[in-house]
Structure 1
Amino acid sequence: MSHESLGLISLMLFPPFLLLAIWLIYMVHVYTERAEALMINSSFIEANRSLFSQMGLIGKAMRNGLLTLALLTPTLAAKRGLVNVADVKNFPIGLRRILFLSWGSSFVFSVALVVLNVFRRYSY
């Protein structure tokens, strides 16, 4: 592959990644407190809130990402006593999808850009 074609692939991947980063900022700002309010019996939420509340938007992103991770692996989090299983079961499906799709697609685009950069760096 030539440098021009790799540049075009990067150009096609970067705008959706940039839009996704803007969406993540909005999603973290709007949905973090809403999602945490639904997990009232989880000590994990209170600990994260007290730990990351003074960090601004980055702290909100950390709280949101850790909540999404706890929702992604509820048996592991429940086994460690972090979340209440009833709270996880009663968590709305729509909000769960928003969290999973936002963080998951961000991960996929980040990995794609890293793989493209590694391919560009070591193929020539």
Structure 2
Amino acid sequence: MTDAFTESLEAKVAEVAAIDDLLARGLAALEARQKLASSDQDLYAIQQAAVQGLRPGRTWAEVGELFGRSYAWAEAIAKGRSSKRSKTDHAVESTPPAGAAEGQPTDTGTPDQP
């Protein structure tokens, strides 16, 4: 990373931290993080294309070594299996509670005592 990028990022963090109103500060932080996440996904796609482009004629270990990483890292990036996948790769709904398929109630409170 360049010094200008780091300085710009640090300046933005300081700007957001200096906002007095808690709601305005929280909203500014949310907006900044959303922009970072979008840019991060774009950079990930660029990195993935580079790894895939370097693969022909090389082993995953050789590609990983070019980046100072492991073969598993290189293969995961190329195949889109890293932790930087877009959020659309995940389930939209949460896992149902245990026993829901059997018709058991989801209430985990204490049963009524006689």
Q: TM over 0.5, yes or no?
A: no
Normalised to the residue count of structure 2, the TM-score between the two structures is 0.34
Higher RCO (CA-CA < 8 Å; seq separation 6+)? 1
Larger radius of gyration: 2
Q: Which structure has more helix as a fraction of its residues?
A: 1
